[in-house]
């Protein structure tokens, strides 16, 4: 069992939960308050929610005991971008350390900027997933918005694949990072795209990709 995982112990005949390291485990509410404290931009908030949704989905597939942790880390991964874009993935360490977040969670946030703004290589499955799907959510969003429905609910993997090949489309999406992430994960790109779409469908309304009611 990992250090930060909750250990069950017996005390006075009752099962009680306590952290082995007495480490503070951040809640989703705390993460949301921090996010709103440092971010006003609606599109960045929607991006944070999209990445959270996808991380929760992947955790459900591969780490079902850690869905909350994966989701919260996804939610805050770009926490410092709006106000500290020059020190993105660096400033966030100071912010999260001041908030008492676990070192492993902070490292996971940092590592999504591997070779872009920090030298922290994604090592865990959580870190590799975050690194891979961060940019991909941007391509999925841009592709969904092109559809008549403007929705992720009826978006298919093949549509995203088609747009992947058009380098001028959503040119800001770094395809190389996504490919490097897929290599780290050892998973086919199509599978990652499919699961990313499914994760974004779970939060479609929150990220503005549920489509227009009159078109559905």
- From residue 78, give the alpha-carbon distance in Å to each of 12, 36, 54, 62, 111: 44, 12, 15, 23, 11
**Piece of 54-62, 73-81, 89-97, 198-206 that binds Fe ion (CB under 5 A):** 73-81
Pairing of strands 14-19, 6-11: antiparallel
CA distance 70 to 55: 6
> Shortest gap between Cβ of 159 and Fe ion (angstroms)?
22
**Shortest spacing between CB 67 and Fe ion, in angstroms:** 19
CB of 44 to Fe ion, least distance (A): 8
When the beta carbons of 36 and 158 are compared against Fe ion, the nearer one is: 36
Site for Fe ion in 101-160 (CB under 5 A): 134
Collapsed DSSP state (helix, strand, coil) of residue 11? strand
> 119 in helix, strand or coil?
coil
Q: Which residues, 31 to 70, sit near Fe ion by CB under 5 A?
A: none
Q: How far is the CB of 2 from Fe ion (least distance, A)?
A: 25
Q: Rule CB under 5 A: is residue 78 a binding residue for Fe ion?
A: yes
Q: Which stretch binds Fe ion (CB under 5 A): 33-41, 72-80, 163-171, 192-200?
A: 72-80
- Distances in Å between the Cα of 34 and the Cα atoms of 43, 87, 99, 104, 127 are 17, 17, 9, 18, 21
Closer residue to Fe ion (CB): 109 or 211: 109
Q: Which lies closer to Fe ion via its Cβ, residue 43 or residue 103?
A: 43
Tell me the β-bridge partners of 17.
8
**Nearest distance from C-beta of residue 55 to Fe ion, angstroms:** 11
Which CB atom, from 24 or from 83, has the smaller least distance to Fe ion? 83
Dihedral (Cα; 131, 134, 137, 142), 10-degree rounding: -120
| CA–CA separation, 216 and 211 (whole Å) | 7
User: Binding residues for Fe ion, per CB under 5 A?
Assistant: 78, 134
């Amino acid at each position: 069992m990992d250090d930060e995982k909750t250990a069950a112990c017996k005390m006075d005949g009752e099962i009680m939960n306590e952290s082995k390291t007495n480490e503070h485990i951040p809640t989703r509410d705390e993460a949301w308050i921090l996010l709103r404290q440092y971010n006003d931009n609606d599109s960045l908030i929607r991006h944070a929610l999209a990445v959270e949704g996808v991380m929760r989905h992947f955790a459900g597939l591969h780490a079902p005991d850690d869905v909350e942790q994966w989701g919260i880390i996804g939610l805050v991964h770009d926490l410092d971008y709006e106000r500290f874009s020059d020190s993105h993935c660096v400033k966030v360490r100071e912010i999260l350390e001041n908030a008492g977040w676990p070192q492993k969670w902070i490292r996971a946030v940092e590592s999504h900027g591997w070779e872009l703004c920090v030298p922290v290589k994604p090592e865990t499955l959580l870190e590799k997933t975050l690194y891979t799907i961060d940019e991909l959510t941007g391509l999925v969003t841009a592709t969904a918005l092109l559809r008549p429905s403007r929705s992720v609910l009826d978006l298919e993997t093949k549509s995203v694949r088609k747009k992947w090949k058009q380098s001028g489309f959503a040119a800001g999406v770094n395809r190389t990072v996504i490919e490097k992430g897929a290599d780290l994960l050892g998973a086919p790109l199509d599978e990652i795209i499919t699961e990313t779409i499914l994760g974004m469908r779970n939060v479609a309304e929150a990220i503005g990709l549920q489509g227009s009611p009159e078109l559905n």
